[in-house]
Amino acid sequence: MDLATEADKINTRADLAAFVAAMADVASSTEDEEWENNTLPRFLDGLAGWLSGMNGYFRNQGLTEPEQPSWRLIGEMLAAATLYE
């Protein structure tokens, strides 16, 4: 599952819920080796790190950091947390 591609498809709360459910399926799979942060503590640490550095992500993309996250951005945060250190 390409999380970044799937996160780009999120537009509604229902889309985000389906995305999170799909992430749970992937996380429970023993075949998933693409997640760097494949334990809950590592995932949460990656999420905290990405959230702390989120302004840099937007700056590097030439975008303005939103005041409120969209459903899609929340999905992007969760996807990033699987890899971010």
In degrees and rounded to multiples of 5, residue 66 shows phi and psi of: -70, 150
The tokens for 38 are: 């494949």
pLDDT tens digits, one per residue of 2-49: 888 999 999 999 999 999 999 998 888 756 567 889 889 999 999 999
Give percent above pLDDT 90 in the chain.
Answer: 75
Q: Rounded to two decimals, what is the model's pTM?
A: 0.88
Alpha-carbon torsion angle 22, 27, 33, 34, nearest 10: 50
Separation of alpha carbons 52 and 11, rounded Å: 24
Under DSSP, is residue 61 helix (H, G, I), strand (E, B) or coil?
coil
Q: What is the DSSP letter of 64?
A: P
